[in-house]
Structure formats: structure tokens, C-alpha cells
Amino acid sequence: MVTLRQDIFMEDALKIAQWLEDEEILAYLNEDQKAAKHIRSLVASSTMPLYNQVFNQKGLFYLICQGEESIGYVKFIPKNKGHEIVIAIGKKELWGKGYGKSALKKALCEAFFSLRTEKIDAKIKEKNLRSLNLFEHFGFQETTKKESLYHLSMDFDTFLKKAA
């Protein structure tokens, strides 16, 4: 079982930096190549016990946890009438074992019920077939495909129909 946690401690920040330095993980994400370097620099120059304010600057950020251990993250980036979701399982040995599915379900509940967003958008690289299949399984519909990115979307009504 996974949970979403908003508190981001130093060890979590360093773990996220490690994930964002892994070429295999980065191949599936649309993250800034300099993000890991920025996180490491921040941790090295700071004595903050929590890094929430840093990770929440461009939207809400949650750690995906298995027990107390962070295994990935979810970001909600505000967009016109909704949010874009970014989800990553950083612990590669857990890929394909249902953790992404469980995390996405919790993230969608958070987005639609707590954030009260009208719709969720996702951008998924075409080679990330697991994520593409997962999002389509939950009811996301392809809106466009630009270059090597699928643009998918889901509104609240679709979420309710799929959840029922």
C-alpha cells in the first residue's frame, strides 16, 4: 500500500536528486536536466529540516511512500482550469508492480476531492508505454500528440464514472 506525504526531509530531497540523476529514470520524465544539481546545491547550503517550500514553488508536491520510505513523487502544476500531473516511481525495482497504479489513484482522489480541480492533464513520452497504458486505464483521453509526447486529459465527470 502506498501513501502520499507532503513533508519532504533532507534525505527525501537527496533521494529525489539521485532519481533525477539516473539516466533510465530521466528517459521517461520531462524533468529539467539541472533539477538534481539544484536540489543537491540547496541541501548542501541549507540547514532546513523541511524542504516543502522549495518543492511546492511551482505547484503541490507529494512523496509517494511505501510505509515510511519514499519511493517516488507526484507533482500537481496549476494550469488553466486544472492541473498537470507528473508522477514518478524513483525506486526502479518497484516498476511494474502496481505502485504507480496505486499512487495515481490516490493522486487523482487528492486532485479532484481536495484540490477541487476541474481537470487533470498529463504529458507522457511515447516510449513510456507503462505510464501511457496506466493513464488510459484510468480514463485519460489523448488530446494531442506533439513530437514524442502524448498529451492526455481527464475531467472530474470521467473520473467519477471510472471510479464507480
Give per-residue pLDDT as tens, 98-142: 999 999 999 999 999 999 999 999 999 999 999 999 999 999 999
Backbone dihedral angles phi then psi of residue 130, each to the nearest 5 degrees: -60, -50
116 C-beta neighbours (distance < 10 Å), count: 8
**Among candidates 117, 124, 20, 102, which has minimal Cα distance to 60?**
117
Mean pLDDT of 86-105: 95
pLDDT of residue 13: 94
Separation in Å, CA 116 to CA 64, 85, 155, 159, 164: 20, 14, 11, 12, 18
Specify the amino acid at residue 9. Answer: F
% of the chain residues with pLDDT over 90: 76
Contact, 15 vs 54, CB < 8 A? Answer: no
Separation in Å, CA 145 to CA 3, 22, 27, 52, 88: 31, 26, 18, 33, 21
pLDDT of residue 81: 83
pLDDT of residue 157: 94
What is the value of pTM for the model shown? Answer: 0.92
Give Cα 51 to chain centroid, integer Å.
Answer: 17
Q: What is the distance between the alpha carbons of residues 132 and 19, in angstroms, rounded to a whole number?
A: 20
Q: What is the distance between the alpha carbons of residues 49 and 155, in angstroms, rounded to a whole number?
A: 37
Q: What is the distance between the alpha carbons of residues 83 and 111, in angstroms, rounded to a whole number?
A: 8
Mean pLDDT of 59-72: 95
What number of residues does the chain have? 164
Q: Residue 164: which pLDDT band, with cuts at 50, 70 and 90?
A: low
